[in-house]
Amino acid sequence: MAMMKAAFYDGKGKMNVAEYPKPEAGPGEVVVKVRASGICGSDLQMKADQTEEDLDPVGHEVAGEIVEAGPGVDQSLVGKRVAMETIGHGKACLTCWYCRIGQYKQCQNLSEIAGGGFAEYIKRKAAGCYVLPDNLSWEEGAMVEPFAVSLHGVRRGQLKGNETVVVLGAGNIGLTAVAAARAIGTGKIFVTARHEQQASMAKTLGADYAFQPDDPAFEDAVADATEGRGADLTIETVGGWNAAPLEQAITVTRPQGRFVVIGGYRTPVTVDWLRPMLKEQTIVFSSCYGILDGKHDYEVAIEMIASGQSQLAKMVTHRYSLDDIQKGFETAYDKTTGSIKVQIIQ
């Protein structure tokens, strides 16, 4: 059995690199040589939450080269540079009702294909591979996944031109939400950011103003810019363990405005739902990606990055080899390093 290097969580706070069986492509599947994979906030959270060893490689922000195509797959795909959708389309049955309407993340018969991008190779269904144009770097290819997450949220929020947008949080998804809103086209963009490098990057990507989340001037600035109304669209990307981001979204969004919840909440939270009801706000939840208006979020993301509309490569502040993945995780955790996006490059 052919082996490869892959990274595993040891259940004690560390990522270890070890030998693991190299995947083989079955019917409808491809094997991709991983060239770049990003460390996501959810990967960091997995380590924080988990107390048992994870015996499968993880990592879902993946760009690489197809090196093997299984039976039933167009063999001309071998050698193609791709961004791999590992969570939905790359596992989807393609025949259930959700798949037929392009909502692969909601597939009722998801494959049990295992393995992730923190490895030399990864296997998924060929349908989940999106070809990258030649002018995109591997680093940009690995940014397609987080950008698609934010594009999905902004598109579900039905962003319109010249609207005022608030993005709560300036982690990877908050920053890509800023880029998504600016690329689609909007008016003023306000963002909350805890760290100076995040605030600076938000402005680089298209935000007009950046504030600390608890700065009283933040909500006043949004009100001043909108004749007291509040934001037309708020994108909440913080999540966590309390309702504060949701309460802030309700406060900063105008009556009859919309806010989209992308942030993941790790415990049940209590929210005063009377306020958004009286303000007639529309609340939309958004998870991952899918097809909206006839186009998959990955396709939109690739087109926007390739056209130069979104300078997402600037988010990549640190790069590590697979052998040094533990250092990569430590850097991603420690924002005093100036880290924004940390990638594993092979």
Are the C-beta atoms of 151 and 54 separated by less than 8 Å? no
Query: pLDDT value at position 58?
Result: 87
Residues 6+ apart with CB under 8 A from 99: 92, 93, 107
pLDDT in tens, 302-315: 999 999 888 899 99
For residue 313, CA distances in Å to 103, 155, 179, 296, 341 come to 28, 22, 12, 21, 9
Contacts of residue 326, Cβ cutoff 8 Å, sequence gap at least 6: 14, 15, 16
Residues 6+ apart with CB under 8 A from 100: none
User: What pLDDT is recorded for position 48?
Assistant: 53
The token pair at 300 is: 């939109």
| Cross-strand pairs, 274 | none
> In the prediction, which pLDDT does 21 show?
94
List the beta bridge partners of residue 224. none
pLDDT in tens, 295-305: 999 999 999 99
Q: Quote the pLDDT of residue 263.
A: 96
User: Which residue ranges in the chain fall short of pLDDT 50?
Assistant: none
Please give the Cα distance from 84 to 63 (Å, whole number): 6
Q: What Rg, from alpha-carbon coordinates, does the chain have? A: 20
Among 252, 218, 262, smallest CA distance to 232 is for 252
Angle among Cα 175, 333, 147 to the nearest 5 degrees reads 25
**Under a CB-based contact definition with an 8 Å cutoff, are residues 152 and 306 in contact?**
no
Residue type present at position 72: G
Among candidate residues 336, 346, 330, the one with its CA nearest the CA of residue 43: 330
Say what the pLDDT of residue 13 is: 78
> Which pLDDT score is estimated for 47?
55
Give the pLDDT of residue 55. Answer: 64
Q: How far apart are CA 63 and CA 137, in angstroms?
A: 9
Q: Pinpoint the alpha helices (H) of the chain.
A: 41-49, 97-100, 138-142, 144-156, 172-184, 196-205, 216-225, 244-252, 274-278, 297-306, 325-333
What is the set of domains in the chain, with CATH numbers? 3-142+311-345 (3.90.180.10), 147-285 (3.40.50.720)
The confidence score (pLDDT) of residue 266 equals 87
pLDDT of residue 45: 66
Report the distance separating Cα 51 and Cα 267, nearest Å: 17
Q: What is the pLDDT of residue 160?
A: 92
Q: Crossing angle of helices 144-156/172-184, nearest 10°?
A: 60
Q: Is the pTM of this model over 0.85?
A: yes
pLDDT of 57: 81
